[in-house]
């Protein structure tokens, strides 16, 4: 399975207020101000490098963390600042950017390890927000996840057919052209799914699919019973 996804930062602008569930934040959770800062730092990465945007980064980190074997930071970090993994130019100080990314990586890692709800960085579109379908809004997050699986394919290789159901919950938000024709079982599963009716439902499915995949690739921490459905977060404008 190979999926070609372009960075999302040039074809959409974000209202930099992620969808949040009212809950106590972990100690290291990034604030909304931190997320704004991180997006600004990503925007400052010099051309010709093409960094991920904040939402795509979040999905990418989940895809990295759900691998069956731990991916070391020197391997995954370059893809944050360039979609092709090219090195940063000499003299460019990325220390602050990378520190924020590490904090989000640790936050997601803890949530996935304990099978707890986490708030995906999904942002409402500024233009035509009322008419946007859920898939348009969660697309960058899913594209980032798909990028991680393209860069690090061990999850796809090792999980096999058990991955189809949770992966379909995510990949149904991608364009059909992004999926290879020979992924017949995945395409069939996607066709069988009813599209989410609301953005909150689509966001909840991102978390649900991630935790289902964690039960396959990180089973040691799996709980005896599946996580209960969480209250659906309300979009913030």
Q: What is the pLDDT of residues 179-231, one digit of tens each?
A: 765 578 888 899 899 989 899 999 999 999 999 999 999 886 444 444 444 54
Instruction: Report which of 104, 118, 122 is spatially closest to residue 15, judged by C-alpha positions.
Output: 122
Residue 111: CATH number of its domain: 1.20.120.740
Asked whether residue 230 is domain-assigned, the answer is no
Within a domain: residue 132?
A: yes
On whether residue 204 sits in a domain, the answer given is yes
More confident residue, 106 or 224: 106
Q: Decide if 215 is inside a domain.
A: yes
**237 has pLDDT over 60:** no
Rounded Cα distance between 30 and 229, Å, is 24
Predicted structure pTM score: 0.83
Residue with more model confidence, 18 or 208: 208
Decide: 210 and 66 in contact? Cβ < 8 Å: yes
Whether residue 95 lies inside any domain: the answer is yes
CA distance 59 to 208: 13
Q: How far is CA 181 from CA 106, 176, 178, 187, 188, in A?
A: 36, 9, 9, 8, 11
User: Residue 125 pairs with which residues in a beta bridge?
Assistant: 14
Q: Is residue 5 part of a domain?
A: no
How many structural domains are present in the chain?
Answer: 1
Query: Which segments within 153-208 are labelled E, that is strand?
Result: none
At residue 183, the pLDDT reads 77
pLDDT at 185: 86
Residue 167, in any domain of the structure: yes
pLDDT: which is higher, 140 or 228: 140
236: in domain? no
| pLDDT tens per residue across span 29-46 | 899 999 999 999 999 999
Query: How many angstroms from the chain centroid is the CA of residue 119?
Result: 11
122 is in which domain, residue-wise?
32-221
């Amino acid at each position: 399975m190979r999926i070609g996804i372009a960075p999302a930062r040039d074809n959409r602008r974000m209202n930099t207020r992620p969808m949040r569930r009212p809950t106590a934040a972990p100690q290291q959770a990034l604030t909304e101000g931190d997320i704004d800062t991180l997006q600004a730092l990503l925007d400052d990465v010099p051309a010709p490098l093409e960094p991920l945007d904040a939402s795509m980064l979040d999905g990418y980190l989940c895809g990295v963390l759900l691998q069956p074997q731990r991916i070391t930071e020197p391997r995954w970090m370059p893809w944050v600042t360039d979609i092709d993994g090219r090195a940063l130019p000499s003299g460019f100080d990325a220390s602050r950017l990378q520190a924020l990314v590490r904090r989000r990586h640790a936050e997601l890692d803890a949530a996935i390890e304990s099978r707890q709800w986490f708030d995906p960085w999904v942002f409402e579109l500024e233009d035509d927000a009322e008419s946007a379908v859920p898939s348009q809004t969660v697309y960058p997050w899913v594209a980032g996840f798909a990028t991680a699986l393209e860069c690090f394919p061990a999850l796809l290789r090792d999980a096999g057919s058990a991955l189809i159901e949770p992966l379909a919950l995510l990949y149904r938000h991608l364009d059909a052209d992004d999926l290879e024709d020979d992924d017949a079982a995945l395409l069939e599963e996607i066709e069988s799914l009813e599209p989410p009716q609301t953005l909150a439902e689509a966001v909840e499915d991102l978390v649900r699919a991630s935790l289902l995949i964690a039960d396959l690739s990180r089973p040691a921490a799996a709980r005896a019973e599946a996580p209960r459905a969480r209250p659906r977060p309300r979009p913030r404008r």
